[in-house]
Amino acid sequence: MTKLHELAELGQAIWLDYISRSLMASGELQELVDQGLRGVTSNPSIFEKAIAGSADYDEDLNRLVRDGRSVAEIYENLAMSDIRSAADVLRPVYEKSGGADGYVSLEVNPALAHDTGATIAEARRLFASLERPNVMIKVPATPAGIPAIETLIGEGVNINVTLIFSLEQYEAVATAYIAGLEKLALAGGNVGRVASVASFFISRIDTAVDKALEEIGNTEIRGKIAIDNAKIAYRRFREIFQGESWEKLAARGGRVQRPLWGSTSTKNPTYPNTLYVDSLSGPNTVTTLPPATLDDFLDHGTVAATVDIDVEGARNRMAELAELGIDLDAITNKVLDEGVASFAKSFEGLIASITEKRSRLLEELQGVSASSGS
């Protein structure tokens, strides 16, 4: 039994924050599943590194160019092929867990983050095209994303809500999820077939808060606020998913929308490299780990229920942060904007790389055609 199996017994699922063609082709993903991995997530940055940074996709890219596909069609074909392959590997986890785990996530185009209608349309299309029950579509927790989440859940689309940084965002996301389930129930849909996670980004908060603390010469609460913020959100999660109204949905098979801890690699080299994993373990949670952090956790991580420990201390430190004149709301709003911009930039870089490869291949094909004609 690995530490991943031990965490699963505790009620926490570990998902891999990485995907690539070679991950499936080499059998590595299956090996990780055998070790207790319970899901996979992707984002534009991950696909940029996978597709633009390797030759693994060149054969398919050549074929798609020869078939006359556009840049957008090439990207979706490559990305969705990986998502389907990963979903197939994870399908036994999905079946064995009764639909609780075994998911693979694909993000809507980050350029749509501020357009509710376009986000809904793209999420619907991607979910239908993937044709797998164990996929989630990633929708950002922007003001435009919140109503999209409610609509999509109401239509039975599995949603991974991404880029959550604040308690206010989280509450809006959870409310949208429950409202979506209620709509689905009223329409006669099967609420037990829908799953969703609310993805909190952890380390980015510490990076921003630590910088503000350093500027005023305070080191006492450095490296603590991101974890405290998550613990308070987890307590709120437990409060929201209880009571009469929720129990009605639960009686129909409704699942809680689990908090998911993302951005879990420590950016400060002086912090333990499993800090965010060790500090946020507990029932009804998911943690996504990039490969290096997963290796570190398997090597020397700690398995213990920690997410609901010292919540009062967390509240006190948050109050201290405010007394120091550091506006956490302003910081979380800023890192949300930066997160949307970062994913958009990665997506643009990926599209630019495919465009360049496509143009080069077209020139080569035209050259071969001209040579044959002469």
Instruction: Write out the catalytic residue numbers.
Output: 138
Closest by Cα among 216, 224, 317, 333 to 279? 224
- Note the Cα 324 to chain centre separation in Å: 32
**Can you tell me whether residue 104 is helix, strand or coil?**
strand
For the record, the structure tokens of 94 come out as 């999905």
Q: How far apart are CA 369 and CA 374, in angstroms?
A: 9
Interatomic CA distance for residues 120 and 128, integer angstroms: 12
CA-nearest of 72, 146, 158 to 113 is: 146
d(CA 317, CA 225): 7
Q: Per the structure block, which two tokens stand in for 91? A: 């399908």
Q: Is 140 helix (H, G, I), strand (E, B) or coil?
A: strand
The answer to whether 307 and 231 have CB atoms below 8 angstroms apart is yes
Q: How many Å apart are CA 1 and CA 210, to the nearest integer?
A: 37
Tokens 């098979």 belong to 253
Phi, psi angles (nearest 5°) of residue 41: -125, 155
Phi-psi region of 253 (alpha: psi -120 to 50; beta: other; left: phi over 0): left
List 196's β-bridge partners, or say none: 159
Residue type (1 letter), 109: N
Tell me the residue length of the chain: 374
